[in-house]
Amino acid sequence: MDLITPGFGLVFWTAITFLFLLLILRKFAWKPILGAVSDREEGIKKALASAENARKEMENLTADNERILKEARLEREAMLKEARELKEKMIANAETEAQEKANKIIEKAQAAIESEKKSAMAELKNHVASLSVEIAEKVVRQELANKDKQMALVESMLGEAKLN
């Protein structure tokens, strides 16, 4: 029964051995183990802080990217609007210019037509006048050759003058 009930010597030597083992562990193993645990804890803290910083930086980058994309979209829309306005302005200018050219061409054509018309009318008047003079000259010569015919012509003209 000595094994079940320990004696004073066994407890004493067990306690001494335990204390001696604790001192050796404290001197040689405990500090390095605690140092390693502490280093590991610091490494984990740094990794967590680094991860948190990376997460914040990613959020900032994401926000920046979204802002840049939004600005790019707005700039693109502004450029497209400006291009549309420029296109419409160019078309309107081209239409106005074409209308002005057409109006000038029409004015020149009308002026040319009017000039040709006046020229033709003047030529026609000159021709009719010369023909009328020739005819009148021939008629007067023939009529004035005979005295009776002269008197009849004068009376006829007087009669026509009264009617008008």
Q: What is the pLDDT of residue 81?
A: 96
Measured distance CA(42)–CA(110) in Å, rounded: 99
Per-residue pLDDT of the chain (164 residues; tens, 9 = 90+): 456 777 788 889 999 999 999 888 888 887 788 888 899 999 999 999 999 999 999 999 999 999 999 999 999 999 999 999 999 999 999 999 999 999 999 999 999 999 999 999 888 888 878 877 777 777 777 666 677 777 777 777 777 765 44
Given this model, what pLDDT does residue 30 score? 79
In the chain, the amino acid numbered 64 is: D
Q: What is the pLDDT of residue 25?
A: 85
pLDDT reported for residue 29: 83
What pLDDT, on the 0 to 100 scale, is given for residue 136?
75
**DSSP output for 19-88:** HHHHHHIIIIIIHHHHHHHHHHHHHHHHHHHHHHHHHHHHHHHHHHHHHHHHHHHHHHHHHHHHHHHHHH
> Do 153 and 143 meet the contact criterion of CB atoms below 8 Å apart?
yes
